[in-house]
Chain A
């Protein structure tokens, strides 16, 4: 199947992307981050809030002006949507985001898929959608999914099967984007775990997650770091690094490698991947192994089953 994928993607650009920002930062810090991104070696930038609708340091118009700024220096901009949508007001905000988006939208929930399908807007299937087989992928492609970012559980074996099945069935493959750097998003809840840890009610949270630019660390009772609390989202503690697996990703047909934003050293991280990704080379691991990639527990400090 390698040759098939290679042919199919011959025309596609091999690119790096900056995924959506999972954390909540002060307005000035967020703006500075994306202004700096204009100079970074990254071709695709995802903007927007994917975790909590209460976070409003930046409004839609702010994201849109950042989009214009990034587009003006040649970046492709995608607006990402909320992962867990509960209130009708959030559905309304999503509708406005989709109609205002200057390019693709990243759909992280079926509500967004539904709206894109209805309005004929092409979308990126985000890691929040449950796509485990070629049949599901084909349905979403028919709905307008032109790019797909697999969920955190997807490993090499699963993706190989999925893509081979799609090839055999003549399914038009979406462009494939794979997260290669960052903490994995593991769970979402109605509950705000940051507010709970600070003994605050969610409705009166004071937006305190802004104090934890890389999430609030959670350890086991014997001091082993395990998770990061990020508002209503739970992340894995370890920053996953698929640097050594980059050639495997390329062979599989992945054309966009996604880097997840973090508070520090973003430029260095991007530069490290930019040096090797386009040439299909590996780079030694700096972060943690992604256990899911080899069919094991996501957290590789643990013995595999």
Chain B
């Protein structure tokens, strides 16, 4: 199984390569990718340098152009496809059908992966994307149980990539408007979810803190309570008489214990989330997964989750908590 790691800058890319990632995915410094954060991502020159470093080690660089292009800006997305091809990318990660079509026609030999933002959750949807745009891989949205992942793997002609570790989107990717409902900025169009410029922390008289997103109270924390980043899906709200994490707790996805099942299902690649995270996160998380995958390859009979792996991953998880999320039926 290929280990695919993100990088938001050259130091993170170096860390991921050093730690043993097979492929690195990156984005341009604009809204063409789903992590359009200030100070993050690659200039064209950095991209060329990053690709050089990866290729020198025999690794690959995938470029995420996985937001949706509005008509007025469609040409910018096409240009980004051309820039990625010119820089020598090994594959593109795309979501928008118009952009997929452009890439397919103009750079037929550059492999196209369907992004998780493309919301393809069935063999039928994958078949369509394959017939229409010749995708050679698809990233599955984080909504399927492990049984459903196995089923799609068995019936789909497209090799699949699943999320292994990182921040957990609990809604079908590409179809969540919670951020744009509150802020006007959306993952689909702007490559951001709950951007920091809309976040306002307030110190409360009792020593606690509250946090608002564009004026909407997302949560309130006690003095000693760890505070989470205010995405709408991980806030605490009132439903009936109860105040609780009505959608999801601040927690990270961690599928390490499913590794053997993902491998036998035929999953082609495992993806680490976290382009916005630094080199330290990348090094530690990638190294842990590298060990787990290598152990599975060399000694599958005796493979078991090591406590040290889980401890290391939990250190880098949101709220230091991890979950199997939708892979595990009881989460639903």
Contacts and interface: CB of A to CB of B under 8 A. Distances in A.
B215 A303 contact: yes
- Interface residue range, chain B: 35 or more
A192 B219 CA distance: 21
Contacts of B70: 132-133, 158, 161-162
B326 A115 contact: no
Interface string B187-221: 01100000000100000000000000011111110
B117 to A, nearest CB: 8
A110 B128 contact: yes
A190 B237 CA distance: 20
B237 A91 contact: no
A217 B246 CA distance: 11
Interface in B15-38: none
Contact of A133 (B74, B181, B332): B74
B71 A161 contact: yes
Interface stretch (A15-23, A263-271, A288-296): A288-296
Contacts of B171: 187-189, 234
Given A190-B144, A296-B184, A216 B71 contact: no
A119 B68 CA distance: 28
A176 interface: no
Contacts, number: 225
Nearest to B68: A132
B229 to A, nearest CB: 17
Given A87-B148, A130-B188, A135 B332 contact: no
Q: By DSSP majority rule, is chain A's interface helix, strand, loop, or mixed?
A: mixed
A193 B245 CA distance: 10
A30 interface: no
A219 to B, nearest CB: 5
A188 B124 contact: no
Contact of B124 (A84, A115, A196, A197): A115
Given A133-B98, A299-B181, 12 more contacts: A84-B175, A91-B124, A111-B121, A111-B122, A134-B74, A158-B72, A188-B172, A190-B332, A191-B331, A197-B242, A226-B216, A298-B177
